[in-house]
């Protein structure tokens, strides 16, 4: 949980501000990843492949997303 701003207009200690900044950065990555999943992979609900093949399809889609975002070369 993030540290709250002290009452009375005081500032947080630099360590607490750094912790909050790191927490925000991690949350934004999670939220972006979830947005990519819901935006692009809603079609997975309608796939009629066997369950064993769906994993292969998801892995291939993940590789394409990583290539698109230049996380792998």
Q: Residues 8-62: pLDDT tens digits?
A: 878 888 999 899 998 888 787 777 777 777 776 676 677 777 777 877 877 887 7
Structurally, the chain folds into a number of domains equal to 2
Residues 50, 70, single domain; the answer is yes
pTM of the shown model: 0.46
Predicted local confidence at residue 14, as pLDDT: 92
Of 1 and 29, the structure prediction assigns the larger pLDDT to: 1
Domain that holds residue 62: 45-73
Predicted local confidence at residue 19, as pLDDT: 92
Q: DSSP readout, the chain?
A: -PPPPPTTSPPPPHHHHHHHHHHHHHHHHHHHHHHHHHHH-GGGGG--S-HHHHHHHHHHHHHHHHHHTTS--
Residues 66, 32, single domain; the answer is no
Residues 3, 36, single domain; the answer is yes
pLDDT band at 71 (very low <50, low <70, confident <90, very high): low
């Amino acid at each position: 949980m993030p540290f709250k701003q002290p009452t009375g207009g005081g500032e947080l200690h630099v360590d607490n501000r750094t912790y909050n900044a790191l927490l925000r950065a991690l949350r934004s990555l999670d939220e972006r990843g979830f947005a990519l999943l819901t935006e692009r992979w809603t079609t997975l609900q309608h796939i009629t492949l066997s369950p064993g093949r769906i994993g292969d399809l998801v892995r291939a889609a993940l590789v394409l997303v990583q290539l698109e975002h230049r996380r792998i070369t």
